[in-house]
Structure 1
Amino acid sequence: MGDLLSAVWRYRHFITSSVRNDLKARFARSRLGAAWMILQPLAQVAIYSVVLSRVMGAKLPGITNEYAYSIYLMSGMLAWSLFLEVVTRSLTLFVDNGNLMKKIFFPRATLPFVAVGSALVSNMLLFVATLAIFAIVGHPPTLALLWLPLLTAVLVAFSLGLGLVLGVVNVFVRDVGQVMTVVFQLWFWITPIVYMPNILPGGFARVIAANPMYYVVKAYQDVLLNGRTPDLVPLAWMAVGSLVLLGMGFVMFRRAAPEMVDVL
């Protein structure tokens, strides 16, 4: 792991320039450019708000703001959008960069950090837009917002670890990418983002409790919606599990890298 971090530090300028080029390439011929990174998740929030706000609005105890459900949605979507982008980009990272891995010598371990950097820029822009909307609807931030960097770090570690494991397997079994598209759709709906967990029947509580994203999303909602310190015990377990998963992902990547180049 020390060699990995050392290589990443030596190639930090390569990583930052790659993130910059990646963002430029994604919106090269788009008139709105980077604004799409904000507009797409906000449009999804707006749709759910219009459809479900009257049904769910009364289910938020202790919140008097008339836009409480929209705030709840945006808090959860901020976490989910970062998770989904990191995992999906990592899932196809090695397949998409196959030619680069075969033709140019560089520490291949820098590729995941390029994906994470690009996702973090997108998420930061969405975060700024979220705070602006909160201010407009009369929901100013509190000091609990200081927990957000820690929550983001835990979420990135979990997302990148999962993405690396799936990305390595996807090089050898391309069906993984297709299967995960369906899995992510199901995963979204078993994570309390659009609905509150207290409206579910008792049996579903076990499914929710087994979902690691539940604890991160709930922590985001505690910080952004309720302005309070998140529950640290499950968050600590989540952090430990995320580091283990991240280490597993990099070990798999390092051991499989020579074979991956041949397959690609």
Structure 2
Amino acid sequence: MARGTAAMVRTLAGNARLLVAITRVELSKKYAGSVLGASWLILQPALLLSVYLFVYLVVFKMRFPGLSRLDYVLYVFCGLVPYMGSIDAITLGAMSIKQNIHLVKNVMLPIELVPVRAVLVAAASQGVGLSVVILLSALNGALTLHVLWLPVVWALQILMLFGVVWILSSIAVGLPDISYFINLFLFLLMWVSPIGFTVDMVPANLAAVLYLNPVYYLLDVYRDSLLVGRFPSPHVALIYVGLSLLVFAVGSAFFRGFRGVLLDYE
């Protein structure tokens, strides 16, 4: 596994300029032809945020002790942005090789970079949402110097997503139906992740299940950096770092193992 991880790191580093170039091209193509264009970068999370707030505040009339309405909006938005970024990366990356096999066969593009490109496009979109969160947090007086940890948190998320899409894109070449399972799983995961509710609201007998959800650690480190103004608790930070690096390493080894099969796929 160490050898596969090292090989992937060398591939990423050696093709950094190419990755930047193809990511720019994909970003320009993503909203080409749409009436609202790049405005969807803001509209999509804003619309989903509105649905969340309507469900929790209007339909269920839930109250959140210690949080004002604005605090709760920021809490939800700070959770939605990285989760939506992860969803985009996984859904696009999972089918990226299956849908772009011609790029690998007809263009001098390392096959490893095809799923990576999808993650970077999603990360660029997520960056716009994070900028809005930072602005709102500053206006609310919640932003502190702990925001400087954000690049580290974000980089670890991207590494984890690289590993996830390398695994899923390899499987999807031979089993394209996996995309339906992925979409359903991510939709269900969104509602059982602490995006619209706080951890304290979870019954004690279900808290252990929540701690098995990797999204919990992802959202916790983001909120600590952007809203709470503190370094993540040691066990959360350790699990998040370890999980990110482990998924990256496993994904690297998995993809390297299937690389020859993928290149021969017709």
TM-score normalised by length of structure 1: 0.89
Structure 2 CA distance for aligned equivalents of residues 56 and 144 of structure 1: 33
| Cα distance in structure 2, aligned partners of 1:117 and 1:97 | 16
Match of 2:193 among 169, 172, 191: 191
Question: Aligned residue for 1:223?
Answer: 225
Q: Please give the per-residue CA displacement for 1:96-145, whole angstroms capped at 9, x wherever unaligned.
A: 21111122233222223322321221111111122333445x34421121
Measure the CA separation in 2 of the matches of 1:213 and 1:51. 21
Query: Which residue of structure 1 aligns with residue 63 of structure 2?
Result: 58
Write the deviation string for residues 163-202 of structure 1: whole angstroms up to 9, x where unpaired: 2211111111122111111111111122110112222222
Deviates more, 1:103-112 or 1:164-173: 103-112
Q: Equivalent residues in 2 for 1:110-121 (5 A)?
A: 110-121=113-124
Are positions 1:17 and 2:55 aligned together? no
Q: Tell me the equivalent position of 1:6.
A: 10
Equivalent in the alignment of 2:36: 32
Does residue 41 (structure 1) correspond to residue 45 (structure 2)? The answer is: yes
Distance 1:179 1:165 in 2: 14
Structure-2 separation of matches of 1:248 and 1:5: 13
Q: Which amino acid in 1 is paired with 2:178?
A: V
Q: Do the aligned residues in 1 keep the contact of 2:217 with 2:239 (CA within 8 Å)?
A: no
1:56 deviates by 6.8
Residue 122 (structure 1) aligned to one of 117, 122, 125: 125
Distance change >3 Å, CA 246–CA 47, structure 1 → 2: same
Residue matched to 1:91: 94
Offset, 1:260: 1.7
Moved more, 185-194 or 240-249: 240-249
Paired residue for 2:134, among 110, 123, 131? 131
How far 1:26 moved relative to its partner?
Answer: 0.8
For residues 42-95 of structure 1, give each alpha carbon's deviation from its aligned partner in whole angstroms, at most 9, with x where no partner exists.
Answer: 11112222332366763243x4x4312101101111221222122222211211
Cα pair distance change 1:257/1:21, threshold 3 Å: same
SS in 1 for 2:166: helix
Classify 1:222/1:56 alpha carbon distance in 2 versus 1 (closer, same or farther; 3 Å): farther
Contact 1:158 1:242 in 2 (8 A): yes
Question: Which moved further from structure 2: 208-217 or 239-248?
Answer: 239-248
Q: Distance in 1 between matches of 2:243 and 2:74?
A: 29
Are the equivalent residues in 2 in contact too, given 1:191–1:213 (CA < 8 A)?
yes
- Contact in 2 for aligned 1:19/1:117 (Cα 8 Å): yes
- Provide the TM-score with structure 2 as the length reference: 0.89
Secondary structure in structure 1 of the residue aligned to 2:231: coil
C-alpha distance in structure 1 between counterparts of 2:210 and 2:40, whole Å: 31
Per-residue CA deviations over 1:25-48 (Å, capped at 9, x if unaligned) read: 111112322221221011111222
AA matched with 1:59: F
Letter in 2 for 1:80: Y
